Amino acid sequence: MDVLEAIGVTLIGLVVRFGIPIVLTILIVMWLRRLDARWQLEANQTRPRAAVAALPQPASHNPANNTPTTGNNDFLFIGRLPSAICKAT
| Angstrom distances, CA of residue 3 to CA of 7, 11, 88 | 6, 12, 79
Q: Give the tens place of pLDDT for each residue, 7-50.
A: 999 999 999 999 999 999 999 999 999 999 999 999 888 766 66
Query: Contact at 8 Å (CB) between 55 and 67?
Result: no
Q: For the segment 56-71, what is each residue's pLDDT rounded down to a tens digit?
A: 665 555 556 555 555 5
pTM: 0.47
72, 78 in Cβ contact below 8 A? no
68 phi, psi to nearest 5 deg: -70, 145
Q: Where are the domains of the chain?
A: 2-49
CB 57 within 8 A of CB 69: no
